[in-house]
Amino acid sequence: MTTSSKLATSKSSLSKSSLSKSTRSKSMARRTLALDILNHAALGLVALLFLFPFFWMVSNAVRSNAEVLAIPVRILPSVFEWDNFAKAWTQLPFGRFFLNSMIVSVSVTAITVVVSCLSGYAFARLKFPGRDALLMGYIATLMVPAIMLIIPLFLIVNSLGMVNTFQGVILPVAFGTFGAFLMRQFFLSIPMELEEAARIDGASRLRILVSIIVPLSMPAIGLLSLFTFIGQWNNFLWPLIVMTGSDNATLPVGLTLFQTQQGTAWNYIMAGATLSMLPGIILAIILQKLIYNSIALNAGMGGR
């Protein structure tokens, strides 16, 4: 922008009319620049206000409980009690809940990825009777709201004797049909020639899947893992129902356990809430490009 206006000024010395023109365009450019800065600043302010609950959570996590609902309201604690995080981690015990959440989320993600790769490959590359009908059935199940299945799923888990166990929380949510569909779509985009050579050499389908297809499918596997992990990490109703013992509670469930107690330890709860939000926030920032691209894919598919 500056070079073009400089160019314009050097040219403008040739005639009077172009001189006045260039000063006008210069002031206009200056005005658009000012408007641009104002525009950025205004949205920046909105973004800051939007981030306030995060700030409020951390600010309340590191103060004494007496200062949490003190009047007048304190924006910042008088003393920063950073060891509240350590206390919440060991005493409440958010460390245990964190571990439980990790076990559940990682297990569900691992099972989902393996099962989805296998079934997605069958849908994409293998011929068998009723394939298209079965795929349609899989897609149709995506419309069923999760909350509808809560009651029968609990009854099944109960009859299998898996209430208050990790397998009881993990297994019923690890076989979603979305992964099979996602992996199928991705596998279809891999050229057939890449596996034909291996087939002529006599490699089994499983071997082809593991050593040729899966390494090429890391973007899709990464996406499936990310959204499965976050979905499980944030899941509440299902672990609430299955994990009846407080030792086995996941983080979201654990957060609600202390809510009703007398003299709620708000500062520790806020510390626990901060801990529960950390993985998602870190992943959202590090993987912003992957997330944006996957959502952009949805935006593009919406047009079809």
Partner 1 sequence: MTIAQESATTPSRSAARRRNRLDIKEGRTAFFFLLPSLIGVILFLVVPILASLVLSFTNWKLLGKPEFVGFANYVRLFSTDPQFWAVLRNTLFFTAEYLVLNIIISLGLAVWISSLKVGQRWFRVIFFLPTFTPGIAVAIVWMLIFAPGGFFDFLMSAISVQVPSVLTDQTLAMQAVVVVSLWAGVGYNTVLFNAALDMVPANYLEAARIDGASAWDRFWKIRLPLISPTLFFGTVMTAITSLQVFDQIYVMTRGGPGSATATLGYAIYQKGFQNFQMGYASSIAWVMFALIMALTALQFWLQRKWVHYDN
Instruction: Tell me which residues in 82-111 interact with partner 1 (CB under 8 A).
Output: none
**Member of 196, 197, 211, 236 binding partner 1 (CB under 8 A):** 236
| 40 counts as binding partner 1 under rule CB under 8 A | yes
Between residue 282 and residue 301, which ones bind partner 1 under the rule CB under 8 A? 283-285, 288-289, 291-292, 295-296, 298-301
Nearer to partner 1, 191 or 303 (CB): 303
Q: How far is the CB of 15 from partner 1 (least distance, A)?
A: 26
How many residues make contact with partner 1 (CB under 8 A)? 94
**Member of 173, 213, 221, 223 binding partner 1 (CB under 8 A):** 173
**Member of 190, 203, 230, 257 binding partner 1 (CB under 8 A):** 230
Q: How far is the CB of 121 from partner 1 (least distance, A)?
A: 6
Nearer to partner 1, 19 or 102 (CB): 102
Q: Which of 252, 137, 117 is nearest to 179 (CA)?
A: 117
C-alpha to C-alpha distance for 6 and 222, rounded to whole angstroms: 49
| 187 counts as binding partner 1 under rule CB under 8 A | no
**Cβ contact 228:179 at 8 Å:** yes
SS (H, E, C) 5-19: HHHHHHHHCCCHHHH
Q: How far is the CB of 262 from partner 1 (least distance, A)?
A: 15
| 213 counts as binding partner 1 under rule CB under 8 A | no
How many CB atoms neighbour CB 216 within 10 A?
16
**Cβ contact 141:76 at 8 Å:** no
Q: How far is the CB of 80 from partner 1 (least distance, A)?
A: 18
Q: Which of 97, 105, 104 is nearest to 230 (CA)?
A: 105
Nearer to partner 1, 22 or 274 (CB): 274
Between residue 100 and residue 159, which ones bind partner 1 under the rule CB under 8 A? 114-116, 118-119, 121-122, 126-129, 131, 134, 138, 141, 143-156
Residue with the two structure tokens 């059935």: 137
Tell me which DSSP letter residue 302 carries.
Answer: T
Q: Which of 221, 227, 228 is nearest to 170 (CA)?
A: 228
Q: Name the token pair of 245.
A: 């013992």
Residue with the two structure tokens 């003299």: 263
Q: How far is the CB of 4 from partner 1 (least distance, A)?
A: 16
**Cβ contact 108:216 at 8 Å:** no
Computed over its alpha carbons, how large is the radius of gyration of the chain?
Answer: 28
**Member of 14, 66, 71, 192 binding partner 1 (CB under 8 A):** 71
Q: HSE on the CB side for 275, CA within 13 Å?
A: 30
Span of 10-18, 20-28, 161-169, 275-283 interacting with partner 1 by CB under 8 A: 275-283
**Cβ contact 275:95 at 8 Å:** no
Nearer to partner 1, 16 or 304 (CB): 304
Nearer to partner 1, 197 or 299 (CB): 299
